[in-house]
Structure 1
Amino acid sequence: MILGIPKRVFIIVVVLVGIGIIYLMGMDKRNSEATGGSTGCKVTVTADVLNVRAAPDAKSDVVGKFNQNAVTGAEPEIQNGFRKLAENKWAANEFLQPVANTNCG
């Protein structure tokens, strides 16, 4: 017995508390991604299908795609007509509409 609690019950409680702490620590990252990272910028895709590229260049590798009306986090940074969505993820800014009341610069 540990602290008057059977050893098996004590171990189960400790494991559950640990899982809860890990879940809560990951929640900050999920909330940050959902709101557009650290900037709070969110954009809506206006193209039927929008390619996400590895660099701000139309010839850069496609690393993902978004369908029309998809909403995603973005950064205020724009280069060569491409908006930065995340590290190594860029999309043509002409097909992205900033969501109202978000900080897209």
Structure 2
Amino acid sequence: MSKDSPFPGSWQRAMLPMLLLAELSNGHAHGYALSKSLQERGFGPLKGATLYPALAKLEAAGLVETRWQEGQGGPGRKVYELAAAGRVELAEQRASFEQLTKLVQSTGR
């Protein structure tokens, strides 16, 4: 675990795709806004070298759609939006995570 995150790095890498899909279920966003939102909710800081490859994989898998937004007085940026397939994937991942949570909570009691 890093001093900035309450979770081990392997957990962050494993959970990042689902968390990005969950963030995008609230509406479209650019990468920096996604990173800030996750950090504010306690996920810990995300480096661009971690965030943008994860978003690119979601896009390549057809789970996220992108469009270019022209900047007003600054550079443009890519905006990400949850695709229909991403909504289905998010529901499936949430169900799996719920099962895992129940397993962890019931083990060793």
TM-score, structure 1 length as denominator? 0.24
Structure in which a larger fraction of residues adopt helix: 2
TM-score, structure 2 length as denominator? 0.23
Larger Rg: 1
